[in-house]
Homo-oligomer: A and B are copies of this chain.
Amino acid sequence: MQWLVTGGAGFIGSHLVDRIVDAGDSVKVLDDLSSGRLEFLAHHEGNERVAFVKVDLRDLEATAPHFEGVDRVVHLAANPDIRLGTRVTDTDLQHGTVATYNVLESMRRHGVAEIAFASSSVVYGEDAPLPTPEDHGPCIPISLYGASKAAGEGLIGAYVGTFGFRAWVFRFANIIGARGTHGVIFDFIHKLRATPDNLEVLGDGRQEKSYMLVEDCVDAMMHIIGQHNVPFTLMNLGTEDTCSVRRIAEIVIDVVGVNAGISYTGGDRGWAGDIPRARLAIDRLVASGFQPSAASEAAVRQTAELLLREILAEHD
């Protein structure tokens, strides 16, 4: 089978490419390398089952030809920095919504009908019950990143309903692990390297979210994609527990091995549009026969260790 993975040189994408190769399939990676890195795919160099194309998904005419001969698309490409939307308001529209339309339209032009999409827990907004099931409504995101994910889900629904596509939409918890290029753990390590005696935490530290290892995330996707016999599958991907930002700060300080105090900027959230508390109901995932290997706190500790190693290696 010929896969195409957008954002395949990125954090989650490069792990998914590993799994596709492990499964014996071929994969074409489309990435603009804005946050993805070729080095994340370096271990596949010389493997003719892995192809890489640098392309800007905002450009439909440049994007579409690469969908020729593809059987299945996994659309992961997006702006990874949720906070950016508070300063630059059109990034998620262009790199999220418009890019997703261009991917779907490229598929339609070339008769490709299967798509998996990385949506996010942030589509649920901030008033959802916890844990949040897939059938929660209404979904009113409070960030432009969340708006672009909700828009992507709707576009995919339209291509399923209008053009006979088949889709798997995954609403991700916070996905963490090796090759991370952003996020709270990544930020904390960098902050502690700059000022080892104090870690400044955005908000009051009581924000509490679920964390899932990237390996569990891509294993779950591979487990679900192709399994369900309905045109549209919607599934939360996460873990059953949460970890507070305060606890993450303690773990990262411990892993980095510094004697730092923690100061809080205050307020119930990191920034306008941040969702203070998030936990996904993963009953559907578990019922499908998949169980995450690590809970939130273990995932956080493991990720802190891996990212510290990567960051130290990079700066050697």
Q: Using Cβ atoms and an 8 Å threshold, which residues of chain B touch A232?
A: 140
A116-138 interface with B by 8 A CB criterion: 123, 125-126, 134-138
The residue in A105, A123, A138 that gathers the most chain B C-beta atoms within 10 A of its C-beta is: A138
Closest approach, in angstroms, between the C-beta of A261 and any C-beta of chain B? 31
Closest approach, in angstroms, between the C-beta of A112 and any C-beta of chain B? 15
Check: A101 CB closer than 8 A to any chain B CB: yes
Q: Using Cβ atoms and an 8 Å threshold, which residues of chain B touch A125?
A: 157, 161
- Majority secondary structure of chain A interface residues (helix, strand, loop or mixed): helix
A63-94 interface with B by 8 A CB criterion: 85-86, 89-90, 93
Contact in complex: B151, A97 (CB < 8 Å): yes
Contact in complex: A163, B272 (CB < 8 Å): yes
Q: Using Cβ atoms and an 8 Å threshold, which residues of chain B touch A151?
A: 97, 147, 150-151, 154-155
Contact A155/B144 with A105-B89, A138-B139 known, Cβ cut-off 8 Å: yes
Q: Could you tell me the distance between the alpha carbons of A157 and B151 in the complex, rounded to whole angstroms? A: 12
Number of copies: 2
Q: Using Cβ atoms and an 8 Å threshold, which residues of chain B touch A162?
A: 85-86, 142-144, 272-273
List the B residue with the shortest CB-CB distance to A167. B140
A159-200 interface with B by 8 A CB criterion: 160-164
Closest approach, in angstroms, between the C-beta of A102 and any C-beta of chain B? 9
Contact in complex: B140, A147 (CB < 8 Å): no
Q: Using Cβ atoms and an 8 Å threshold, which residues of chain B touch A149?
A: 154
Contact in complex: A161, B126 (CB < 8 Å): yes
For A8-47 the 0/1 string (1 means CB < 8 A from B) is: 0000000000000000000000000000000000000000
Check: A108 CB closer than 8 A to any chain B CB: yes
Which residue of the partner chain, among B93, B135, B146, B155, contacts A98 with CB atoms under 8 Å? B93
Check: A311 CB closer than 8 A to any chain B CB: no
Q: Using Cβ atoms and an 8 Å threshold, which residues of chain B touch A141?
A: 154, 157-158, 161
Which residue of the partner chain, among B108, B158, B234, contacts A142 with CB atoms under 8 Å? B158
Q: Could you tell me the distance between the alpha carbons of A157 and B137 in the complex, rounded to whole angstroms? A: 13
List the B residue with the shortest CB-CB distance to A101. B93
Contact A147/B158 with A98-B93, A105-B90, A163-B272 known, Cβ cut-off 8 Å: yes
Check: A153 CB closer than 8 A to any chain B CB: yes
Q: Could you tell me the distance between the alpha carbons of A158 and B154 in the complex, rounded to whole angstroms? A: 16
Which 7 pairs across A and B sit closest by C-beta, in order of nearness? A137-B137, A142-B161, A151-B151, A150-B154, A147-B154, A140-B157, A162-B273
Residues of chain A having any CB pair with chain B under 8 Å: 85-86, 89-90, 93, 97-98, 101, 105, 108, 123, 125-126, 134-144, 146-151, 153-155, 157-158, 160-164, 232, 234, 272-273
Given pairs A90-B101, A141-B154, A164-B272, 5 additional interface contacts (CB within 8 A): A85-B162, A147-B158, A150-B154, A161-B272, A161-B273
